[in-house]
Structure 1
Amino acid sequence: MALSDILYPGNPARREKVVRLHQDLINCIELNFDATNELIKALNTHCQFKLHPIKMNKNGTVRENCDVLLAAIQSIQDTLQAIDARLKSELEPDLYRKLHDFQEPDAKKMQILRNVAKGVSFLGGIVAIRIFYNLASPVVSRVLSQMSTILARISASVIGLMAGALLGVGVDLILSAILGAVERDQLEAKIQELEKLVSELKPASHEYYKTIIKISCTLP
């Protein structure tokens, strides 16, 4: 047993907790990669997008992988905003307002999109119309924005510098980074930061994943 562990007998358990929480964080990020690629595939297949699938770097830092996810989500949001801007320029003001009015019936909004589909290359088919309608909804927009905010916070944190993306890959690196932190307060600080990030990311990741899978399940 290391001298530091004799002096601070609770530290081994704290180190294990840091590693466990770090892995929870990584699992959430991996889930978000899968969900984002599912959405990219649907957009490229049905909506004539030309987005590149993203790949998780198993040996990279948390920050590097968060930044890849952020860039992909931003590309999706930018494209959707460009399409919405085109709709705004081509639709009568009253029709565009109805398209974004949450009190307007869904059937009415779908009919508006069908009527303008021929004039907007993106909206060339029923499947594309359905995807755009779902992604442009306030609920999905909120989920995308929420995920971007949380990922940006993680990327900017000290935790973002931790390496190792899958179980076992970066454990040694993580431990070596904190073995010198024999003071209980330093380990507790890492635990508190990780617990806060995981408590935010885990529910947001599951909501993000379910939202995208729900959209994908409506496709042929």
Structure 2
Amino acid sequence: MEYTVVINGKPEGPYGPDQLKALNIQPGTFIRKPGMDDYKEAHEFAELRELLGFTFQQTAPQYFASFDQRLLAMVIDYFFLILGYAFLVLFSFAFIEEKTERIAVSVGGLPLILIAKFIYGSIAEASERQATIGKRLLNIRVTDLSGSRIDMASSFGRNTAKILSVAPLFFGYLYSFLNKKQQCFHDIIANTLVIKDRLI
């Protein structure tokens, strides 16, 4: 395994594990290995903690997803959910011939999209990836205030609290512009953050 190391603000390398020992690597030194899109601090690599004698240091996130990133992620999620719903509706038409019944099924099932988004979002954001498909495509994820994965109860609570962010007039979402950590109302209620990867 070879690593790229940020030295004096510039990426250098690649270096092998033995070469890293000769460098003045600190726990907070930014390092990247093949396959990674982002740099991480040296103490975040288990193998480097063992190699260099570091201990893992939990640090609070400092890079937060912007409103437009979160909005785009939500649009992507709804796109896939609506696509799935449209497929189910078209499938049901194979068993329904009456035009009025088809319209009733198409319109009557629309609330299922919101329910599906709530359930899927809650499960996905509490999963190992900490994100829905939309968030994963934009490299953002949901964490607690220390940057760790949230549990299922917190995730369901966070998504339930989105009702408060929607009313009135989506002010709870717009509040993120006034918050230095870009938290919406539901994030504040659930003590969560939506963070993005640090890019150098």
Task: State TM-score, norm by structure 2.
Answer: 0.26
- Between 1 and 2, higher relative CO (CA 8 Å, sep ≥ 6) is seen in 1
TM-score, length-scaled by structure 1 = 0.24
More helix by share: 1
